[in-house]
Amino acid sequence: MKLLSLEIRDFRNLTEVSLRPSARATILAGANGQGKTNLLEAVYFLATLKPLRAVRLQELVRFGAGRAQVTGVFEGPGGPRTIAVQIAEGARAAYLDGKVQDRLDDYFEGLAAVAFTPDDLLLVKGGPEARRRFLDRAAFNRWPAVLSEVRDYLRALRARNAALRTGPPEVEASFRGPLARAGARLWARRRAFIGELAPRVEAAFREISGPEAPAARLTYRAAAGVELEGSEPELEECLGAALLARLERDRERGYTSVGPHADDAGLSLGGKEARAYASQGQQRALVLALKIAEIENLRATLRRPPLLLLDDVSSELDPEKNGFLLGYLRSLPGQSILTTTDERLLGAASGPESTFYRVESGAVRPLVS
């Protein structure tokens, strides 16, 4: 599914933007702080209903405006379809062909967007929260139902935490079951996703770094040493037992210490923890492998490439890895939107179908090379 046109109103510093992306590479050039990343975030928010950066929704609305809206026309198998998202008073509303969508299955049909930002380069050496967010956002592209499943889990988690802090001991039991069910669903999703992604990460890292490079391995690490084995009902039973075993500790601390919210993804090279032992170049190659693996997994499972959004990543990579990434993008039969402070950095990604725009003070205009 390709993005044919984009309309943005009062999103961050973008007052009014109208854009017709290229069917291949659309390159947004401009100095820092002009609105390039805001435009990428608008597209990402339209495609996923989640901000690209972790903020309150109201922060997406331009200062002084009452609401923000992003509208896109996408070309799909059944013809063009128009989707829109509006943010007002800290809430969002999604629209499909002008009709508000309470159930989002139809809204997300055919949509998949993968973003790659400089913050992603911290996936290896950063904390577990970034890796969990990567897993859930990537799994959402694979299975849009993950969005509601994560919300169900977080709602159940907040309820149990509140019971641990303020309720009598017997009250916690009534919240343990819903949390175990929601957690088992999320565990099953993440386990299935890791199973699909891990071999692709290994293959992509080998292609980036050469056949003599150490083997890259992606694993899932459940908190408290829990082993994720068996069916989903068995995972539910396992989490319920773990919650019960750690009940006194959780009550003392006032929060739940086991479950998907406390887990991590393991990344290793040649059997050694990448966070501790990989060089900076190896860490960045591993992050690049993660992103390429995500793209290739979507191509294989959804039978189409996702919309790619790259935010000034070229300036953060060394020439060798930048060349690999841009060569990969050029060979990919899909649509991408890239930002840069220097359009010369992205010359290898451009082609006869590429479109260039200048972004300055929230305004976007075609750039004539």
Average the pLDDT over each of 52-61, 189-198, 349-358 and give the range with the smallest value: 349-358
| Tens of pLDDT, residues 27-37 | 999 999 999 99
Contacts of 264 (CB under 8 A, 6+ apart): 128, 131, 132, 221, 223
The closest of 53, 49, 48, 60 to 89, measured between CA atoms, is: 60
3-class secondary-structure state, position 100: strand
pLDDT of residue 350: 65
pLDDT of residue 347: 64
CA distance 358 to 366: 6
The closest of 291, 301, 222 to 260, measured between CA atoms, is: 222
pLDDT of residue 348: 59
CA distance 288 to 251: 41
DSSP secondary structure letters along 312-361: S-GGGS-HHHHHHHHHHHHHSSS-EEEEES-GGGGGGG--TT-EEEEEET
How sure is the predictor about 170, in pLDDT bands with cuts at 50, 70 and 90? Answer: confident
| Tens of pLDDT, residues 208-260 | 999 999 999 999 999 999 999 999 999 999 999 999 999 999 999 999 999 99
Separation of first and last alpha carbons in the chain: 28
| Tens of pLDDT, residues 94-113 | 999 999 998 898 999 989 99
Three-state SS string over 39-56 comes to: HHHHHHHHHHCCCCCCCC
How sure is the predictor about 301, in pLDDT bands with cuts at 50, 70 and 90? Answer: very high
Is 330's pLDDT higher than 90? Answer: no
Please say whether the structural domain 1-112+304-369 has been given the CATH code 3.40.50.300: yes
pLDDT of residue 229: 94
How sure is the predictor about 327, in pLDDT bands with cuts at 50, 70 and 90? Answer: confident
User: 272 near 264, Cβ under 8 Å?
Assistant: no
What global pTM score does this model have? 0.92
Q: Phi and psi for 301 in degrees, rounded to 5?
A: -90, -35
3-class secondary-structure state, position 23: coil
| Mean pLDDT estimate for the chain | 93
Q: Where are the domains of the chain?
A: 1-112+304-369, 125-301
Q: Which amino acid is at 229?
A: E
Please say whether the structural domain 125-301 has been given the CATH code 3.10.129.10: no
Is 369's pLDDT higher than 60? Answer: no
The closest of 205, 214, 191 to 265, measured between CA atoms, is: 191
CA distance 221 to 104: 31
Average the pLDDT over each of 17-26, 65-74, 131-140, 163-172 and give the range with the smallest value: 163-172
Sheet strands (E) in 166-313: 216-221, 264-269, 272-273, 307-311
| Tens of pLDDT, residues 130-139 | 999 999 999 9
Average pLDDT estimate for 12-39? 94
How sure is the predictor about 349, in pLDDT bands with cuts at 50, 70 and 90? Answer: low
pLDDT > 90: what percent of the chain? 80
pLDDT of residue 103: 87
